[in-house]
Amino acid sequence: MTPARTALERLLRRAEAAHRRGGDRPVRMKMTEASCPEYTSLPTLEDLESFEAQVRLAEREGAIVVDRDRLRGDGERLKSIEVRDIARLASHLGIVPHGDQVAAAEKCLAPSISRFDVIGRLLQAWRENRKVRGRGPEALDDVADAVRVIEAQVPGEERILRQESTRLFGDSKRIERLTPWLEVLALGEVSPTGLSRDDIWAACGLRREPQPMLVAGEGELILATQGVRLARPYLGVAARAIEGFTTTAPCLVSIENLTSFHQATQAWADLPLVLVYSGGMPSPAWRRAYRCLLAGLPARASIYHWGDIDEGGLRIAAVIAAETAATGRSLLPWAMSPQDLPPSLRAGRPRAEPGVLSRMKANAIKAGWPEVAESLGQFQILFEQEGLAPDPGKPPQPVGG
């Protein structure tokens, strides 16, 4: 990019910003070191002449008005540049004006607002020239493709990431490049959520490879063609195949991380518990199967979730709590409150930044855990559940048990 183009683009952005604010005074750039170092720091006469020639072209097209120092040298020395016509200046630079970009985004994304409320906030940010995930309305094609990915989800099915990317776009890695926008749409947040890429994909029904639903304990899964007794240490079944569940166990515990799930199946192997691995952020197929498990529990069974005490972990808990509530039951926290941890495990843990802590507390409230939110505010720590080994003598208990 030439120095002249850099200066003219900055002038265009300033003029567009003034226009959005409703200003009616022409936007002017003085050719001083403070306002336009691209001009004042030109090292050679050839560079100076090239800069002035590019400015003359924009002037001839009616995009700018130039004030020259007629009393010095050849009279071509620039004193200031003023925007005469924003549209012509944008056209001269080959740039679509910001207002036109936003209008195009509004037209393209309007049909999707009813499904994705966050799109309204995204468009409002772009109208105000605020970036979302570091991008403005020039990211429209990416957002539209992310909408397409989510709308292609088949209820109850999980899709293989690169196969689906190839099917939709003819590019096996296109969906991976859309991850920030999938996060915005699937989680309804314009700010980052703290979830990993794999968790974001899972929320959209996408997996790197097929992942079975892992279940441990006592009971029988009802599949499409047969009933299958749970096995030790656990049984893996495609989530889409689960149609029902029967058990007499008084507790069900969902567990976020695989290592902790394996440890729990060993530590609590002889106890009347049903353990289920959530696979991080549960996918739509997992959530449907989870509701089948809940429907098969005894009426007074207690339902717990154990995950990381961090932004992603609390967000995952809130999602599982919403599925639990949809069946008329409540989700209880297991080792999800800092005050439940031994002091020795709380010591030296990293502190949550204020914004992260605020979102953690908000998700604890969404999960129906105000006491966890209070404890988060008191201790302000981050803790990965793998740091706490399941105690064989202290398993999750039925409420009142």
Q: Stretch 111-131: mean pLDDT, rounded?
A: 94
pLDDT for the residue numbered 112 = 95
Same domain for 238 and 177, yes or no, is no
Residue 360 clears pLDDT 70, i.e. is over it: yes
Of 67-81, 269-283, 342-356, the poorest mean pLDDT is in 67-81
Both tokens of residue 263?
């440890």
By CB atoms closer than 10 A (0-12, 13-18, 19+), residue 46 is exposed
Same domain for 131 and 103, yes or no, is yes
pLDDT for the residue numbered 41 = 92
Residue 76 clears pLDDT 80, i.e. is over it: no
The boundaries of the domain holding residue 28 are 3-93
Q: Stretch 254-274: mean pLDDT, rounded?
A: 95
Q: Where do the H-state alpha helices sit in 276-369?
A: 284-295, 311-326, 343-346, 354-366
CATH code of the domain in which 231 resides: 3.40.1360.10
Cα–Cα distance, 136 to 172 (Å, whole number):
25
pLDDT for the residue numbered 376 = 97
Mean pLDDT score of the chain: 93
Cα–Cα distance, 67 to 79 (Å, whole number):
5
Residue 401 clears pLDDT 50, i.e. is over it: no
Q: Stretch 164-174: mean pLDDT, rounded?
A: 97
φ, ψ (nearest 5 deg) of residue 318: -65, -35
The answer to whether position 392 is within a domain reads no
Boundary residue ending a domain (93, 109, 144)? 93
φ, ψ (nearest 5 deg) of residue 242: -80, 125
The answer to whether position 401 is within a domain reads no
Same domain for 272 and 155, yes or no, is no
Same domain for 151 and 276, yes or no, is no
pLDDT for the residue numbered 325 = 97
The answer to whether position 164 is within a domain reads yes
Same domain for 221 and 347, yes or no, is yes
Same domain for 77 and 105, yes or no, is no
Boundary residue ending a domain (62, 93, 124)? 93
The answer to whether position 397 is within a domain reads no
Q: Stretch 148-168: mean pLDDT, rounded?
A: 93
CA distances from 33 to 16, 39, 69, 80 (A): 23, 8, 16, 12
Q: Stretch 255-274: mean pLDDT, rounded?
A: 95
- Reported as a single tens digit per residue, the pLDDT across 175-203 is 999 999 999 999 999 999 989 999 999 99
The residue type at 378 = Q
Same domain for 286 and 227, yes or no, is yes
pLDDT for the residue numbered 7 = 95
Both tokens of residue 44?
């050679």
Same domain for 243 and 171, yes or no, is no
Torsion of CA 323, 328, 331, 332, to 10 degrees: 180
- Reported as a single tens digit per residue, the pLDDT across 296-336 is 999 999 999 999 999 999 999 999 999 999 999 999 999 99
The answer to whether position 393 is within a domain reads no
Number of domains in the chain: 3
pLDDT for the residue numbered 107 = 96
pLDDT for the residue numbered 71 = 67
Same domain for 178 and 222, yes or no, is no
The answer to whether position 54 is within a domain reads yes
Same domain for 160 and 43, yes or no, is no
Both tokens of residue 98?
């910001």
For residue 380, name the pLDDT band (cuts at 50, 70, 90): very high
Same domain for 138 and 283, yes or no, is no
Cα–Cα distance, 248 to 297 (Å, whole number):
7
Boundary residue ending a domain (189, 207, 225)? 207
Same domain for 20 and 161, yes or no, is no
- Reported as a single tens digit per residue, the pLDDT across 18-74 is 888 887 788 999 999 999 999 999 999 999 999 999 999 999 999 999 999 876 656
The answer to whether position 327 is within a domain reads yes
